[in-house]
Amino acid sequence: MKAVILAGGYGTRLSEETVGIPKPMVEIGDRPILWHIMKIFAHYGFDEFVVCLGYKGDVIKDYFVNFFNLQSDFTVDLSTGRIDVHNDASECWRVTLVDTGLNTMTGGRVKRIERYVNGETFLLTYGDGVADVDLEGLVRFHKSHGRLATVTAIREPSRFGALDCTDGQVLNVREKPVFADAWINGGFFVLEPGIFSYLDSDSTIWERGPMENLARDGQLMAYHHEGFWQPMDTTRDKNLLEDLWARNSAPWKVWP
């Protein structure tokens, strides 16, 4: 089962980082967040990827073309051209990099990679967020209900603390409360090839018409995830992820 990753947006809300690189190449630790996402999938055995490129897609292409050498220590004999590699930093991944257009919307990008999933069930996520989603459980759930699409639903914490007050007195301060009834789209989809009939053109936004119509037709199910989930939309988000990684406390690091 292939994992499709949307990696073509402009990343305008993180513009201080994305002037020269696409958002999926912004680093957490010393690796792009795209690498972190792919490590999550590979841990569960999903090691074939289709990456949907757009804004500065050449940066992502260069990264993977040169991946082995960039991650390895080696000695070059300049007289013969021989390269001796001292550590094996390879990943057992097969990565298809597809230019899906500079201004193409999310649904349009998915439509453009239809031929690369070979008419099979596939996974889909965004190239700017990490989670400790049990992908095996997600796929099992998807297979159990027989519908065209499954979305991982997460509870989003408020970005602001909450004050419990009575008669003007603050009785309790709750930092970033979770609203019990607020389930939102957390990415990490499992999709059947039948979803392509819901996609029209480059201007199709996956999260609007297609998802809304799948829901209308009873073809969209939600896999509820109560664990860690974090997008990287702002500098604040990036710093949070960076701090977790630096403290060796990154919940999304499910691999050894």
Q: 104-141: per-residue pLDDT in tens?
A: 999 999 999 999 999 999 999 999 999 999 999 999 99
pLDDT in tens, 3-48: 999 999 999 999 999 999 999 999 999 999 999 999 999 999 999 9
- Give 169's pLDDT tier (boundaries 50, 70, 90): very low
Q: What is the pTM of this model?
A: 0.90
Q: Tell me the average pLDDT across 195-211.
A: 96
Is the pLDDT reported for residue 54 higher than 70?
A: yes
pLDDT at 163: 45
Query: Where does the chain have alpha helices with state H?
Result: 15-18, 33-43, 57-65, 67-71, 106-112, 135-145, 209-216, 235-246
Residue 164 has a pLDDT of 53
Backbone angles phi, psi at 153, to 5 degrees: -100, 130
Displacement of CA 195 from its chain's centroid (Å): 19
| Mean pLDDT in residue range 58-63 | 97
Share of the chain above pLDDT 90, in %: 80
- pLDDT-based confidence at 182, cuts 50/70/90? confident
The predicted structure's pLDDT at residue 167: 56
- Topology of domain 2-153+182-246 in CATH is Spore Coat Polysaccharide Biosynthesis Protein SpsA; Chain A (3.90.550)
CA distance 240 to 233: 11
Q: Could you identify the residue written with the tokens 């789209």?
A: 185
Q: Using alpha carbons only, what angle is made at residue 127 by residues 126 and 131, rounded to the nearest 5 degrees? A: 70
Angle, CA of 19, 159 and 29, to the nearest 5°: 45
pLDDT-based confidence at 193, cuts 50/70/90? very high
Q: Distances from the Cα of 238 to the Cαs of 14, 112, 125, 245, in angstroms?
A: 9, 29, 18, 11
Q: CA 228, 14, 23, 188: dihedral to nearest 10 degrees?
A: 30
Q: Residue 228's CB: how many other CB atoms inside 10 A?
A: 15
Mean per-residue pLDDT for 205-220? 93
Long-range contact list for 111-117, CB < 8 A, 24+ apart?
111/196, 111/199, 111/200, 111/201, 111/202, 111/204, 112/52, 112/202, 113/4, 113/50, 113/52, 114/193, 114/196, 116/2, 116/50, 117/2, 117/4, 117/50, 117/193
Write down the mean pLDDT value for the chain. 91
